[in-house]
Chain A
Amino acid sequence: QKEVEQDPGPLSVPEGAIVSLNCTYSNSAFQYFMWYRQYSRKGPELLMYTYSSGNKEDGRFTAQVDKSSKYISLFIRDSQPSDSATYLCAMKGNFGNEKLTFGTGTRLTIIP
């Protein structure tokens, strides 16, 4: 079993739709949860960073963490064609678990 599982997609939705991207994990030591966005032929860039359970909102993006279920989500409201990219979840812990563990990424296309 992989430490982090992420549906690779691809996922295609019409412009304006709400998008839900998800990851599950098995390592209970993970405390910090990130979403990176990667455009085609580019390096990943940090989109959202959350600590422990709860929600964090930034504009059209909401990151949600449920540590009891070992499940994290990224919601994109009013999706735009510029949101078309691969979204990678990443997570890490403390005290010897600081290295990032990445999901495989979900490829998202927003259709105008």
Chain B
Amino acid sequence: NAGVTQTPKFRILKIGQSMTLQCTQDMNHNYMYWYRQDPGMGLKLIYYSVGAGITDKGEVPNGYNVSRSTTEDFPLRLELAAPSQTSVYFCASSYVWGAGEQYFGPGTRLTVT
């Protein structure tokens, strides 16, 4: 099992550009999450999904969009990138809703300049 994989590992964007962060899990988990991690701020939930076709906003959704067409994939879309979106992004999945045990990917380091 590869677990949760994310691509790319690193990316530099110019202000106003768009990109998609990819996330795939092979554990057949229904529940998937996107977090961002900023220094001194902890992990903040951006969006989550409870199954294919069902997504909902987390704590900090502005500037992001998600889709979930399959159980395995949960891409995060950044439209019109801003410097405030410079962060490390983590995708996670869990077997049950509200599970304390979430499985995290290795992260994507994004810089917007």
Taking Cβ atoms with an 8 Å cutoff, the residues of A that contact B are 4, 6, 8, 32, 34, 41-46, 49, 88, 90, 92, 94, 98-100, 102-105
- The interface size of chain B toward A, counting residues with CB under 8 Å, comes to 20
A99 touches B100 (CB 8 A): no
Complex CA–CA separation, A8 to B39 (angstroms)? 10
Complex CA–CA separation, A100 to B99 (angstroms)? 8
B40 touches A92 (CB 8 A): no
Complex CA–CA separation, A90 to B37 (angstroms)? 14
Interface of B is mostly: loop
Complex CA–CA separation, A49 to B104 (angstroms)? 16
User: Which 5 A/B pairs are nearest by Cβ-Cβ distance?
Assistant: A98-B98, A43-B104, A102-B43, A102-B42, A104-B42
Chain B residues 78-108 with CB under 8 Å of chain A are 90, 92, 97-98, 100-102, 104-107
A46 touches B41 (CB 8 A): no
